[in-house]
Amino acid sequence: MTFNFDQWVDRSHSDSVKWNKYRDADVIPLWVADTDFLSPPAVINALQKRVAEGVFGYGSPPKELVELMVERLRERYEWTIQPEWIVWLPGLVCGLNLAVRAFTTTQQTSIMPSPIYPPFMQAAQSEGREFRHVHARVHHQRWITDFNEAESTLTGSEKLLLLCNPYNPGGTVYRREELLAQQEFARRHDLLVCSDEIHCDLILEPGLRHIPFASLNEDAANRSVTLMAPSKTFNLAGLGASLAVIPNRELRVKFARTGHGIVPHVNILAYVAATAAYQDGDDWLKAQLDYLRANRDLAFERINAMPGLKMLPIEGTYLGWIDASQAQLESPYRFFLKAGVGLSDGREFGNANFVRINLGCQRALLEKALDRMDAALAAR
């Protein structure tokens, strides 16, 4: 079966958060991390069949979906989990917030990379809590965070290490030795670990493989919460099906209890979509990865040829992290917005000299956005 990722879907006057941000303006939205691709046909067909039943009462996780998830983690990532380790969630961001609320007090601190996906910082600040940044640095053309750099500044209040793999922004896919260094840092300082692995299926660099933090060894498993979802993989973000995998029973019970009465149950249609995606969506995923690789290569070549811009190779995710510091722009985000390209403002991630670009769109639209960026820089 062939899939047409060049097919145009007009979302400009729909309920799309991505497109509504610049509604009725001549701005190409390449910011929030959802794609403009039709979801897999198997997902659409399964949803249509379920909707035709006409009854939408309370639901529970389908046994089939749980079995698919267990088998998927074993086959793709060599990680053997038990079904009872899974806690289903209506979104990954609420998992970050639950981890902070469950495992830290207002006197305790979270540690995370910088720059980082903004909800990390928002979650770590919930209910008056504090957090500490450790700066990611460029090492052999990859963004790497060495948490050992923070050793001399630790106060003993640190309790939770927040990780992101693949890294958002920056696109780094961490190697085993890098993850082991993170795990040893956590062990040495008795930190619990919450690892956001929502982009785990979106590995663009051939030969690389995602390694779940919790799969490293028994110590990593016992101190970790792993957050995953089909949302980025299959463009299902608006349906809201995510999960936390928590091997340690004590942590799992505390995590789940923290959400009682606050976090709603997963939408029944989200369960249907997730089941269909994991069961019959991998051919579509393979084709999407090929398309995203070509978009990545195009953006890498074009952006690095623009005066004052630099973007490192993206190993995973469909999100590029563009360094505009040499362009000497007062605000790169506002500069490109004026040129008709709506990127994510690096200020929200921790560095105002950067912008993040979403490459999950039709290639013709990406080319149009790159042309606008190039022309704006040339016209200065």
> What averages of pLDDT result for each successive group of 10 residues across the chain (380 residues)?
94 94 96 98 98 96 98 98 98 97 97 98 93 97 96 95 98 98 98 98 97 98 98 97 98 98 96 98 98 98 98 98 98 98 98 98 98 97
What span, in angstroms and rounded, lies between the C-alpha atoms of 67 and 302? 43
Q: Where are the alpha helices (DSSP H) in 163-281?
A: 176-188, 218-222, 231-234, 249-259, 268-280
Please confirm whether the linkage preceding 169 is cis (ω < 30° from 0). Answer: yes
Topology of domain 17-40+282-378, per CATH?
Aspartate Aminotransferase, domain 1 (3.90.1150)
pLDDT at position 13 is 87
Paired tokens of 54: 């006409």
Q: Is the pTM of this model over 0.75?
A: yes
> Do the beta carbons of residue 210 and residue 216 sit within 8 Å?
no
CA proximity to 144, closest of 119, 164, 122, 124: 164
How far apart, in whole angstroms, are the C-alpha atoms of residue 52 and residue 46?
10
Domain with CATH 3.40.640.10 in the chain: 55-280
Among residues 10, 46, 102, 11, the alpha carbon closest in space to that of 241 is found at 46
Task: Say which CATH class 55-280 falls into.
Answer: alpha beta
Q: How far is Cα 75 from Cα 53, in angstroms, rounded to an integer? A: 33
Q: How far apart are CA 222 and CA 194, in angstroms?
A: 11
Ranges in the chain annotated CATH 3.90.1150.10: 17-40+282-378
CB 261 within 8 A of CB 302: no
What is the number of residues in the chain?
380
Between helices 92-103 and 249-259, what is the axis angle to 10°? 110
pLDDT of 225 reads: 99
Could you tell me where the DSSP H helices lie in the chain?
17-20, 41-53, 63-77, 92-103, 118-124, 176-188, 218-222, 231-234, 249-259, 268-280, 282-304, 332-338, 363-378
Diameter of the chain measured on Cα atoms: 61
Contact assessment for residue 147 and residue 154, using Cβ atoms and an 8 Å cutoff: no
Say how far apart CA 18 and CA 2 lie, in whole Å.
Answer: 27
